[in-house]
Structure 1
Amino acid sequence: MAIFRNSSVMRTQVAIVGAGPAGLLLSHLLWLDGIDSVILENRSRDYVERRVRAGVCEDPTVKLLRDVGLAERLDREGLPHHGIVLRFDGEDHRIALTDLTGRTITVYGQQEIVKDLIAARLKAGAQIHFEVSDVEVHDVTGDRPRVTYKDSAGAVQEIQADVIAGCDGFHGVSRPSIPDSELTVYDHVYPFAWLGVLVKAPPANDELIYANHERGFALHSMRTPEVTRLYLQVDPSDSLDQWSDARIWDELHARFAIDGDFSLHEGPILERLLSPMRSFVVEPMRYGRLFLAGDSAHIVPPTGAKGMNLAVHDVLVLSRAFKELLQSGRTDLAESYSDTCLRRVWRAEHFSYFMTSMLHRAHDADPFQHRLQLSQLRYTASSTAAATSLAENYVGLPFP
């Protein structure tokens, strides 16, 4: 790693790499406990606040945001949902989340949570440095880890900290800073991708629809009462150029077809993206005084709506570990951080795998596999026990 000289040096207790929901929420939780932090982000504030990502908040995520004073706009603008719909065999089969578990999910975009967090952090005087570059972490196996970077003006800076939180996502610098020999990597790539579109049109249904169709999976979701989020299962080798607006709408209408009255609301496509489907986990989530959280440590396929919610759980556990370590010198929560988080991560990985394999149609699937899918769907829709298991995992297991 490069060693910078004549740099400007600042001191903090926690250096946080990444201003996504994980890094920002961690900084907020630490601030509530009287712990200082500095956040580094390589993108601009405008980019971070506009970056459209997940939209389903688990019940424990919403409760935590309320507990820490971050849910005023969520409670006003979020869309509580009491069920989801499994669409197959030409019919809808509703999974009554609230009736089965007593809890709900809330649709509220990740970028909206990020806006709320940035506003709250800046109001409290937090240091968030946007548009930084050349971020590197140093000396994480000692008791004085450092982060070096170039600020938005190109000047070299250094942060000296007690601990470093790597919240910079799958493509960030934190995880690659750990020697390969210190990590065990679990990586599973699915044989399909998602084509997602954001549409300026009201949702056609009040709840999410997960459709299993012979042409492939489709998902009907929403962001607001005026904006719909729609997804299509596509081949991973596809490009966005292959999918015209007309082709997208033709495929959506075909996959959401039902024996009854249902019609998608068409409108201008505001955004489109193509996302591969994968599961990825590294163990452990800690190396010395560098702690990984969120997508820097694990990726789940979006079918189970778990990615952002796992990041929230990670930083809740991490904030408690840092509080003990930095305020009382106790190390037990820091030492158990990885194991505590990974128990929830692997539960979410399995649930996401279950939902993905039950709903998607592999291009090379034989009729036997398809009949197994239909059997699982019919059992889930007709068995109270099976439906409760799905609902319990979907709304989110309680945080510790």
Structure 2
Amino acid sequence: MTETFRIDRPSFDPATGEARFTYGLGDLRFTERLGLPDGADAGAALSPAFEKLLGLTALVLGVSYFKLRAPFVIEAPGIALTAAERAFVIDVYENGLGEFYARNQLSRFGKLTLHAPDDAQDRKPAPVLADRTLLPIGGGKDSLVSVDLLTHTGVDFTPFAVNPKGPILSSVEAIGTPPLYVTRSLDADMIRLGKEPGYYNGHVPSTAINSMIASLCAVLYGFSQIVLSNERSASEGNVVFDGRETNHQYSKSLGFELLIADTLSNATGGALKYFSLLRPYSEARIASLFTQASKFDAVFSSCNRNFRLTGNDGALWCGECPKCHFVFLIFAPFMKKERLLAIFGQNLLDKPANEHSFRELAGLTGQKPWECVGEILEAAACFYTLTRHADWHEDAVVRAVKADLLSQYGEEKLQMAMAECLTDSRDHHIPPALAAKVAAYAV
């Protein structure tokens, strides 16, 4: 394959708030646009930090166009990169697209070449950023737990989202704090070609993409930290492909968090921090924290089918996908049954048709679904808890999996796994002072 993917130098107009990114793939040309809100600091838009971040954003956003053909050569002739930045970009195009390669049977690990000018300045001058927090909101339980933790530890924050719709809009409305929204317009030809023969399609690292867009906003509007809501469970992969573990949630993993945090710090002379507030927690622990308040029960959703292009035009929970099943499963040990049934509108654990999906989540058959779900052993531990729970032990799916669950794992392992799920990890990147405040509250 002789095709090359080309990434041109991007542009930003402070007067209109529009950033433009252009790409080339063989004879094809694409243009993507970001619409940023009014109020950007014109001086910040001219800073070396913003120029650096804009270039890196162009490279990361490029994965959506690169994957149409997945060539082996990437060229960025107008974007200078340090050695560390080259490694970061290659990581996004290799591990960030790991699921895409696995599901399309494409061998690319260790085979991609990136041509770009050298940047000898490893660390850019620091812009002046206010002591403020930008908090991406995804519409699900995780970012809303971060809302609660930041609120109770006295950290002011601004909700952030790219192309907000459905549960994001309803969640931000319930939060009650003015948000910062960005409009992302993908090239229509890319979307069309992704459905045609001769072109590939598949998963892209959306957290990496949205994080780079957030970094642009941090510099333009004055935020000193971007706080993510990624849990420790996100670091577990799905399958081994091409000699490497591939992870649907790679750009939510701790490894990627450390890499992008270092990249953003160097690009801003140490002025911009990036970390996940929920990294010490398992999905089950986050579910237990969510149950402490009910103000978001009627507005949040983790169901991908709810994020339609037309917005929130259907039920918040489809009740059929692995994400619905996983979230229901991890809430069940901690939330009153009546409340959980009110949120979902049905009992997903009492529908025999759901058994196969729940078995996959708990590692009793198949593989871990290509979804943002927690660890297999974590799901199994939650199931074990339900087999001994007065509210749930008689439900059809719980009864159906009990014997195989105990046979495969054993009671002692499941008991230890549940205890571990509820024990906070010290393996995180949260600033020490904030970590101490959060730990004191989240008991």
User: Which TM-score tier does this pair reach, normalised by the shorter chain?
Assistant: under 0.3
Identify the structure with bigger relative contact order (alpha carbons < 8 Å, sequence gap 6+). 1
Q: Which has the higher strand share?
A: 1
TM-score by length of 1: 0.26
TM-score (norm 2): 0.25
